[in-house]
Structure 1
Amino acid sequence: MSNCITYTCEDHLITSQAKAEKAFLADFEQGGYTLENPLVVENPYLINPLCALVMFKTSEEVSVTVTVHGKRIQREDLSHTFAPAKEHKLPILGLYEDFSNKVEIKLSNGSSTTLTIKTAKLPARVSRCRHISTSIDYLKNNFMFLSTAGKNSPAAYDYKGNIRWMLTVNTMFDLKRAENGNLLTGSPRFCHMPYNATGLIEIDMLGKIYKEYRLPGSYHHDQWEMEDGNLLILTQDMHSDTVEDQCVLVDRNTGEILKTWDFKDVLPQDVAGSGSQDAHDWFHNNAVWYDKNTNALVLSGRHQDAIISIDYDSGKLNWILGDPEGWPQEMVDKYFFTPVGDVENFDWQYEQHACLVTPTGDIMCFDNGQFRAKSKENYLKNSENFSRGVRYRIDTDKMEIEQVWQYGKERGPEFFSPYICNVEYYEDGHYMVHSGGIGYENGLPADSLGSFLDKNDPNVELRSVTIEEKNGVVLYEMETEGNFYRAEKLPLYHDGENVSFGPGQLLGKLDVTPTFDTDPEVEEVNELPDSWHNIIIEEDEDRFVFHGKFERGTLAMLCLEGDEGKHNYFINTAAVRHLAMCSGAFLEDDDRDVKFNVSKEGLKGRYTLKLIINEKKYHLGISIFAG
């Protein structure tokens, strides 16, 4: 038998980026860089290979226009003008991969230079565009950003389907542009299975992380920026028996949790479940939207086939949008809507995602349609089902609902996504529908979610289809490889500040990882576990992640022993069945592989690591430091 433990200790990405930034800024200050001889830093923040930072000084204050020339025609040029200055630090965005990009730098005084920036081929895990149908007149300077639902990379595609932006770290779930021009999305750092990240990050288009908002209950699915800058973030209480059923308001500057909404206070947990519901994941909140007109949180609960509205201040339930079958009659009478209008063509939504509120108060969502019924005897097979974007008009005085638009039902099973996806409202009659969870086995819609399908099986295909429709005409359609969580149409540049310098911040805090009180009486041996267990310890500044392989039912416990005491952590090796998997980024190919996050919160000093496997306690030969 061979024995080997793999240990790595890395800086948080914020720290690595701060070190890189400090180095290139020092170079800039000492170098005497001019327009004719600028400092060009490719991929300055380490995670976006399709960008650069160009820096130089001028004797007079001038504005600068940067143009990344298109591959084909002048109309493909991507230009942005920066405010007048003497010191110029210019983000260059939208470079083509594996290409000698021509980048023109033109000053307002007429001077100019053209640089060549050669990029490499992107990693194999990027998902390529298979087909796109649109025009440069329609898309203009916008790109379609797709946030990943698997181990592929977040990416943005131009009107020809070229990838012009990507991240080499797998940021999680939704990607939204904040008022300051930066992006809000999930941290790539693992926290809890199946897909919970340590928190929310604010990141710019170069890939620089300005803040990570760590949460005790971790981050999942969605977030919303309030007018005052504070953030609504979806989370949960990891010490309870349920998940994905809380929302918190987080202070934008400090990371402090200001307010918490717990949906168990609003809804019963044992009625009207969708086909994917269990007691643990009873609600599965996958979207939050703040409706200013009604001062309410509008929330999508996949596992109750319901969109709900709760009062922002009191947390009390306003209404429930969904099929009333299976709900208590007193709740149906008080909170549910009655269909009106063209009721023959009316459909309720099932296991929906990405609810939103239009300016007139209509409710839109992506109706995944999974099972498309409340009763098992009426469930539809995926191969006979459909998904769609839908818009409902609601009257909360009369408690009536009318379906006023849909797209997707007419496309049948080929547009069907049993999980993830989103819609966007641009103006009346102009919408996006992103069916990002399409999966096929042997040419038919798969019975399993895309995250669970074998990507190496030649009979398996994963696809995403994103369309934009205006007044009934499809003006944009893109099909890509792989599954993508959501789509957002955005320009690369923002009118405000494009890059700010200085180290990013780790805000908020992680939870204290629960310990196991029992100290098993086992034989302690001064040796390493067999290498079959593939023990890996990944440490960073505020936590470490334990990886190992165990046969099902193995007794496994991680033990930290130090001057400040002992901490035992139970490792669950039982088979776990996930009914939802909105991101497969943390899934292992072998279901015997487990990972376990241990926060340094509550730890102090140096600890040696030991591992109990059945009847023996092994020394891992590794120590970690906290505090």
Structure 2
Amino acid sequence: MKQRKWKIGLTVLLVVLLIGGLGAYHERHNIRRLMLVHQRYQRTDVLSTNQIKVNLRAGVSTKHTATTNQLTKQYRSNLRRLTPGIDHAKTMINPYRTSPLSGLILVKTNQATRVTVTVPGDTTASTITHQIKGYRRAHSVGVLGLYAGRTNHVRLTFTQKNVHQSTSTYDLTTAAAPKAIGHNQLKTSHPQQMALGQGHARLTFAVSSQGITYGLDARGRIRWYSTAKISHVFKRLSNDHLLVLTKISPNSHKYNALRETDYYGRVYRQVNFSGLFPTKQDPHKLATNTVIHHDAIELPNHHLLLTVDDGSKKFVEDTMIELNFQTGKIVKVIDLKRILPKSAYEDYTGTTRPDGKIDWFHQNSMYYDAKRDELIVSGRNQDMIFAINYRTTKIKWILAAPAKLPKSYRHYLLKPTTKHYQYNGGQHAVRLIQTATHQGHRLALEFYDNNVPVTRGQTKQSRQWSAGTIVNIDQLNRTVTKTWSFGQSLGKRNFTNIVGSSYAVGKGNTLIGFGYADAGKRSEFVEVNRKSNRVVFDVDRSKFAHGDWSYRAQRMTLYPQNNLQLTAIK
């Protein structure tokens, strides 16, 4: 009888604790919403660091990781059950459900062999090959670079340690690429002069503003795309995985999932953001916004630095956060309103937005210089590139026309070494291509100059062309010298009011993405040799979905040096 009463009492206690716990959870949730709506400010319209962290609400999500891990487990089981022999292989297309031009071949060999995979192309330069490291008997061969809408005759060459070889061909049939990608017309291709990398595995990736990101070979043919919608961020991490910004769910209207993935679509980690911010029209109401908007980079400590909206009811696209990607914790906040002149955001009138918020800076890229612990930042709507010490956030130098800049900031300005220097306007995609000399204070900076002065730098040449640009910066003497530019000769046809990129890709070449040509109806990808200014690759993209213009053009390899090749499947 006593034992029964003890059990009843314990049950009642557990029920009380459960109800109390649920009540406490909902109370915390309501308090958090209250904090979001009734924000506290350290000074007018500038949020506190703690408030920004509350607004963004980053959290690790395991949903997609668990799903792809389950698929890996299934493939591992399939490989174990296979009968040895290259004629007993099992093949599949799109093994992780979001990469239709990838495949997987599971095969066992009687002897330990090394595998070379070849996807035949229409030409020699579009034939993609890759050798998988190591000798084994159980092989999980990842295949990348398949053509869309055809049967690909993929060759595997098996090499034993005694150099004996055998080859087998496997047919992998793919569906047609989505029409939403648009039409890619090859205008120029000189593969011998292009930077295609080992095995011709380097593709030209058209990184979407909001839609389908895809990769083109030397003949302008689609050899990779993702069905997971991607916005702005498509980067290679130090572990050779990909970092992409996508949607939490396919039906979401905003891009609030930061995902570590690979070319096969396997998900290794994902951090979701709330984006539930107060509106300018009614700060007591909340609306879902995109948190990460233009760029993300990996720091040497493997944390991520992200350009974000901080949840302000008034300002957008002027804040960065350092995120511990393992835990989802925000460890540093950099608010540009605390670095740049107060007049820059309080008196800004250069652009307007439908939601009434003020996009005074519009940060679109950044680059971390590990040697100097300096961060280089680009802000379109201030027509400004500047560097700060990352630890202290103190300004080191500013590359911009002097107009509308207070005297207290003008000593940071870089002085052109020649007369009639054409300042950058509305620029994108800043990156160092040379970070040291024997003196250690000179560096070469590349960027895409939209030539759209929003706040400063208006000339007769403004809006007449856009160009990939390289400048040399002498940090000691605070001077700037333009050393190369390409795009002016293309004229208004390739003028882009927004978006764009310019990246050195090897062989003395630069790949330029004219992402918003013809008022957003066309994108063009041009690889040009900087010494001769000869165009060695040129593709026109048109007939794509509205808003899905190519934010950046990037040359990246399908098979990085440390590519896992699905070797986790054993």
Q: Provide the residue aligned with 2:307 in structure 1.
A: 234
Change (3 A) 1:350 1:76: closer
Q: Which runs of 5+ in 1 are unaligned?
A: 1-10, 440-445, 451-460, 504-627
1:69 to 2:120 alignment:
yes
Change (3 A) 1:257 1:402: same
Report the residue type matching 1:369 in the other structure. N
SS of corresponding position for 1:402: strand
The whole-number CA distance in structure 1 between the counterparts of 2:84 and 2:66 is: 26
- Residue in structure 1 matching 2:206, options 134, 146, 149: 146
Report the residue type matching 1:312 in the other structure. Y
Q: Provide the residue aligned with 2:281 in structure 1.
A: none
Change (3 A) 1:215 1:318: farther
5 Å-filtered alignment, 1:48-127, equals 48-73=99-124, 76-82=126-132, 83-109=134-160, 110-127=165-182
Q: Provide the residue aligned with 1:244 in structure 2.
A: 317
Change (3 A) 1:191 1:284: farther
SS of corresponding position for 1:160: coil
Q: Provide the residue aligned with 1:473 in structure 2.
A: 534
Q: Provide the residue aligned with 2:561 in structure 1.
A: 495
**Is the CA contact 1:389–1:423 (under 8 Å) kept in the aligned structure 2?**
yes
Q: Provide the residue aligned with 1:295 in structure 2.
A: 373
The whole-number CA distance in structure 1 between the counterparts of 2:208 and 2:391 is: 34
- Residue in structure 1 matching 2:427, options 349, 352, 363: 352
5 Å-filtered alignment, 1:200-239, equals 200-215=258-273, 218-239=291-312
- Residue in structure 2 matching 1:336, options 413, 422, 426: 413
Work out the number of aligned pairs and report it.
Answer: 466
Change (3 A) 1:427 1:30: closer
Q: Provide the residue aligned with 1:619 in structure 2.
A: none
Report the residue type matching 2:408 in the other structure. E
The whole-number CA distance in structure 2 between the counterparts of 1:277 and 1:427 is: 39
Once the 2 structures are TM-superposed, how far is the Cα of residue 257 of structure 1 from its aligned partner? 2.1
- Residue in structure 2 matching 1:184, options 223, 243, 246: 243
Normalising by structure 2, we get a TM-score of: 0.75
Change (3 A) 1:57 1:231: same
The whole-number CA distance in structure 2 between the counterparts of 1:274 and 1:71 is: 52
Change (3 A) 1:269 1:464: farther
Q: Provide the residue aligned with 1:442 in structure 2.
A: none
**Is the CA contact 1:296–1:311 (under 8 Å) kept in the aligned structure 2?**
yes
1:410 to 2:489 alignment:
yes
- Residue in structure 2 matching 1:133, options 176, 188, 209: 188
**Is the CA contact 1:91–1:498 (under 8 Å) kept in the aligned structure 2?**
no
The whole-number CA distance in structure 1 between the counterparts of 2:563 and 2:527 is: 31
Report the residue type matching 2:321 in the other structure. V
* Residues 12-57 of structure 1: CA deviation (Å, up to 9, x unaligned): 5444434433333333333436421111121001111111111122
1:398 to 2:473 alignment:
no
Identity %: 24
* Residues 390-439 of structure 1: CA deviation (Å, up to 9, x unaligned): 22222233322222211112221111111111111246953222111113
SS of corresponding position for 2:76: helix
SS of corresponding position for 1:331: helix
- Residue in structure 1 matching 2:517, options 427, 433, 438: 438
Change (3 A) 1:485 1:322: same
Report the residue type matching 1:219 in the other structure. I
The whole-number CA distance in structure 1 between the counterparts of 2:476 and 2:141 is: 53
**Is the CA contact 2:186–2:539 (under 8 Å) kept in the aligned structure 1?**
yes
Once the 2 structures are TM-superposed, how far is the Cα of residue 96 of structure 1 from its aligned partner? 0.9
**Is the CA contact 2:522–2:540 (under 8 Å) kept in the aligned structure 1?**
no
Once the 2 structures are TM-superposed, how far is the Cα of residue 274 of structure 1 from its aligned partner? 7.6
Q: Provide the residue aligned with 2:86 in structure 1.
A: 35
SS of corresponding position for 2:81: helix
Q: Provide the residue aligned with 2:15 in structure 1.
A: none
Change (3 A) 1:212 1:56: same
1:370 to 2:427 alignment:
no
SS of corresponding position for 2:135: strand
SS of corresponding position for 2:392: coil
Q: Provide the residue aligned with 1:283 in structure 2.
A: 361
**Is the CA contact 1:250–1:259 (under 8 Å) kept in the aligned structure 2?**
yes
Change (3 A) 1:35 1:429: closer
Report the residue type matching 2:350 in the other structure. G
**Is the CA contact 1:373–1:380 (under 8 Å) kept in the aligned structure 2?**
no
Change (3 A) 1:467 1:400: same
The whole-number CA distance in structure 2 between the counterparts of 1:402 and 1:192 is: 48
Q: Provide the residue aligned with 1:538 in structure 2.
A: none
* Residues 238-272 of structure 1: CA deviation (Å, up to 9, x unaligned): 14532222222222433322222111110125338
Change (3 A) 1:167 1:105: same
**Is the CA contact 2:303–2:322 (under 8 Å) kept in the aligned structure 1?**
yes
The whole-number CA distance in structure 2 between the counterparts of 1:198 and 1:433 is: 28
Report the residue type matching 1:280 in the other structure. I
* Residues 93-121 of structure 1: CA deviation (Å, up to 9, x unaligned): 11111111111111113232111111111
Once the 2 structures are TM-superposed, how far is the Cα of residue 366 of structure 1 from its aligned partner? 0.8
Report the residue type matching 1:275 in the other structure. G
5 Å-filtered alignment, 1:456-467, equals 461-467=521-527
The whole-number CA distance in structure 2 between the counterparts of 1:403 and 1:373 is: 21
* Residues 578-624 of structure 1: CA deviation (Å, up to 9, x unaligned): xxxxxxxxxxxxxxxxxxxxxxxxxxxxxxxxxxxxxxxxxxxxxxx
**Is the CA contact 1:353–1:420 (under 8 Å) kept in the aligned structure 2?**
yes
The whole-number CA distance in structure 1 between the counterparts of 2:384 and 2:123 is: 48
Q: Provide the residue aligned with 1:168 in structure 2.
A: 227
5 Å-filtered alignment, 1:375-390, equals 385-390=464-469
**Is the CA contact 1:469–1:476 (under 8 Å) kept in the aligned structure 2?**
no
Once the 2 structures are TM-superposed, how far is the Cα of residue 72 of structure 1 from its aligned partner? 4.2
Once the 2 structures are TM-superposed, how far is the Cα of residue 273 of structure 1 from its aligned partner? 4.8
Change (3 A) 1:269 1:429: farther
Higher helix residue share: 2
Q: Provide the residue aligned with 1:579 in structure 2.
A: none
SS of corresponding position for 1:197: coil
Once the 2 structures are TM-superposed, how far is the Cα of residue 502 of structure 1 from its aligned partner? 7.7
Change (3 A) 1:373 1:192: farther
Once the 2 structures are TM-superposed, how far is the Cα of residue 61 of structure 1 from its aligned partner? 2.2
The whole-number CA distance in structure 2 between the counterparts of 1:274 and 1:296 is: 30
The whole-number CA distance in structure 1 between the counterparts of 2:343 and 2:251 is: 25
**Is the CA contact 2:82–2:89 (under 8 Å) kept in the aligned structure 1?**
no
The whole-number CA distance in structure 2 between the counterparts of 1:274 and 1:287 is: 22
Aligned-residue Cα RMSD (Å) equals 2.9
Change (3 A) 1:249 1:34: farther
Change (3 A) 1:432 1:148: same
SS of corresponding position for 1:270: helix
Once the 2 structures are TM-superposed, how far is the Cα of residue 466 of structure 1 from its aligned partner? 2.8
Report the residue type matching 2:192 in the other structure. D
Once the 2 structures are TM-superposed, how far is the Cα of residue 300 of structure 1 from its aligned partner? 0.6
Q: Provide the residue aligned with 1:268 in structure 2.
A: 341
Q: Which runs of 5+ in 2 are unaligned?
A: 1-61, 276-290, 436-442
**Is the CA contact 1:350–1:368 (under 8 Å) kept in the aligned structure 2?**
yes
Report the residue type matching 2:104 in the other structure. L
The whole-number CA distance in structure 2 between the counterparts of 1:121 and 1:393 is: 45
